[in-house]
A and B are shown apart, each in its own frame.
Chain A
Amino acid sequence: MTSAEAPTAARGGPPRRRRAQRVPAALLVPALAGLLFLVLPLAGLVVRAPWASLPQRLTEPGALTALRLSVQTATVATLVCLLLGVPLAWLLARARFPGRRLVRALVTVPLVLPPVVGGVALLLVFGRRGLLGGWLDATFGFTLPFTTTGVVVAEAFVAMPFLVIAVEGALRGADTRYEEAAATLGAGRWTTFTHVTLPLVAPGVAAGAVLCWARALGEFGATITFAGNYPGVTQTMPLAVYQTIEGGDLDGAVVLSLVLLTVSVAILAGLRDKWITSA
C-alpha cells in the first residue's frame, strides 16, 4: 500500500500532502491491546491510590527506610556490577581464549534463572555453612546472608548479566581500529582501554548500568531468599510492598508501589535524557 505510493511520488508528480501512513488493522489492534495491557495496571495504581491519606502515609518511617535502603543497595550493586562486569564484557568481546562460548553462556544463566533459585544458590555458597560462607565466617567472622551486604550481593548477582550483555554488545560494535591507532601513538593496552575504548563505548556502558540499576531496584526473589526480610536491614521496597499486602493493608501496598514506580521512572527518564539519547 504505502510502498506502492512511494515510486509514484518519486516519479515527480505534482507535490501533494503526504497522507498519513495507513496501518493495517491486523497490526494496529494487537498493538493497541498490548499497549493497554502494559499501561492499565499502572493506571490502576494511580486511580486506586488513597490520595487523601497519601502525605501521612509517605512520611511513615517504614516506607522511607525501605525506599532509602532500596536506592542505596541498587546503587552499590550497580557499582559492583560496573567494576566486575565491564572487564568481564571486555574479556568476552576482545580476548580469545578456549571456552569463551561456554563462559558467555554461563554469564547469561542468571538472566533466565528464577531469582528465587538464584537466592538458594547464593545461600549454598555464601551461607554460614556454604562452600565459601563457612570459610568467610571462620576466618574473618564475616557473614553475608541476612545482612544489607547480602542484599547487594543478591541484587548484583541478578542484575550483572544485563550490564555484561549491554557492554559486550557495545564493545563488539565499537571500531577496533581506534584501538590500533592508539597503539601506534604509544598507548599500552590498559591506557588504550581507559582513554579510547571506554569513552567510545560510554553510551553502551551507561545504558547497561541503567538496566542493571533498574533490575537491582526491583529485585525480590533472590533478596528475600538470601537476605531475608528485616525492616531497616534487608527490607527493600519490593519486599515492603509484599509484606504490606500480606498484612492485608492494600492501601499501604499501593502507596509503596506508587513511590517505587515514581522513583524508578523519574531516575530512568533523567538518565535517559542525559546518556542514552546522546549515543
Chain B
Amino acid sequence: MSPVPVVDAHLVVDRGAFRLDLPLRIDAGEVVALLGPNGAGKTTALRALAGLQPLSAGHLALAGQPVDRPDRDLWTPPERRPIGVVFQDHLLFPHLSALDNVAFGPRRHGADRRTARRRAADWLDRVGLGDRARSRPRQLSGGQAQRVALARALAVDPVLLLLDEPLAALDARTRLDTRAELLRHLGDHPGATLLVTHDPLDALVLADRLVIVEDGRVVQDGDAADITARPRTDYVARLVGLNLYRGTADGRRVRVGDGLTLTVADPLHGDAFVAFPPSAVALHPSRPDGSPRNAWAAVIAGLQRHGDNLRVQLDGPITVAADVTPSAAAHLDLVPGRSVWAAVKAAETRAYPA
C-alpha cells in the first residue's frame, strides 16, 4: 500500500472528566472498526476525524496533509476535509429528494448541477436504488435511507469514509441485508474507512482490523482472528464469548487468584491471560477423577437459555460461564445455590502474555 497512511492521528479530546486518547493509523483500502461499549469515546473520535470536534491535543493528518494541530493553531473545518460521513440515523435532508441528497456533496465540491445529478444517479444505481431517485427521505425505508446516506457520503470520493453506527437504527432483517451491501461497497472503496460500532458482528464482518476502545483508550488492536482468540479485557471476552482470567504464569501453571491454579497447554512465564470458552467447562456433581486436572468447587449463581444449551453462571474462586446441554442439566439437577464441581481440560485453554 501507499507509504503515507490515509489517517495518521493521535486524537486527544478532553471533555470534562472524560478524556479520549487514541493513536490511530489507517492505510488506503483498509477498513478499521472502532469497537467499544457506549460512552467509550468512539463517536467522539469519529467527530474529531470529521472536524466536528476540535482536538484538545495530539495531531491529525489526512493523506499526509495536517488538518488538526492544536499546538500549531491549525484546524481545518469539516467542509474542507476529504471525508464522507454516514451517520447513525442517516440524516438525509428531509426537504430534498434522494437524488438531490446524493448530488448535494458533488455540487458543493464544484460540479455543475447536471454533472452532480448524473453522478448522484450513478451512485443511487450502485446501491440499487436507481428507481427511488425522486423519493423524499421519509418515503424510504430505514435500510433504503441508510443506503442513500452511504451513496451520499461516497459521492464526494472521500479519502476517508467515516461510518457512525451505520446499522444500529435498523431492524434485524434489514441490518443483515444492509450489512452485506455495506461489505460490498467497503471492498470497492479505494480510500480508508473507519467504522464506529458497538456491535461485534458488524466489526468482525466489515473490518480488516479492530481497534477496541474502553473509557477513551485503546485496550486492544488487531485483526478479527487475533481479537477473538486472545481477548485482553472482560469487555472483549464477553463480546467474543470467552471466559477470561488474568494471572501469573510459571510454565504450564497459571495462578488466577484466590488459590486457584489452572494448568494450561501453552507454557509461559510472568503476567498472563487464560481464556477458554463456556463449552469447555464440564460440570460434575462431585469431584471428578481422571483426565481434567483443572477442577474446582463452585456454586451455581444463575441459569439462562443460550441457543440450544443452558448457560450456567458459577461463583467460586473464579466466576465462570459454563454451557451444558439440557439433558446434562436435568441429570445434574442444576438449581441456583447448588454446589457443583467445574472442570476444564488444559488442552481447551489458551494462555498468552498479558
Contacts and interface: CB of A to CB of B under 8 A. Distances in A.
Interface of A: 175, 177-178, 180-188, 191, 195-196, 199-200, 202
A215 B50 CA distance: 45
- Nearest first, the 10 closest Cβ-Cβ pairs linking A and B are A186-B108, A185-B105, A183-B78, A199-B95, A184-B85, A181-B91, A187-B108, A183-B79, A186-B79, A184-B78
Contacts of A202: 95
B102 to A, nearest CB: 10
B222 interface: no
Nearest to B80: A186
A215 to B, nearest CB: 28
B109 interface: yes
Interface in B85-101: 85, 87, 91, 93-95
Contacts of B77: 183, 188
Nearest to B158: A184
A202 B52 CA distance: 25
B311 interface: no
Contacts of A182: 93, 104
Interface residues of B, number: 24
Contacts of A183: 51-52, 77-79
Given A185-B156, A186-B156, A188-B79, A178 B93 contact: yes
11 contacts: A175-B91, A180-B50, A183-B77, A184-B50, A184-B52, A184-B153, A185-B156, A186-B79, A186-B80, A200-B94, A200-B95
Given A186-B109, A191-B108, 16 more contacts: A175-B91, A177-B91, A181-B85, A181-B87, A182-B93, A183-B52, A183-B77, A184-B50, A185-B84, A185-B153, A185-B156, A186-B79, A186-B80, A186-B108, A187-B79, A200-B94
Contacts of B51: 183-184
B93 A184 contact: no
Contacts of A187: 79, 104, 108
B22 to A, nearest CB: 20
Contacts of A200: 93-95
Contacts of B81: 184
Interface string B28-70: 0000000000000000000000111000000000000000000
Nearest to A181: B91
B156 A180 contact: no
A184 B91 CA distance: 12
B249 interface: no
Contact of A185 (B52, B95, B108, B162): B108
Nearest to B92: A181
B152 interface: yes
A110 to B, nearest CB: 32
A175 B80 CA distance: 22
Contacts of A195: 104
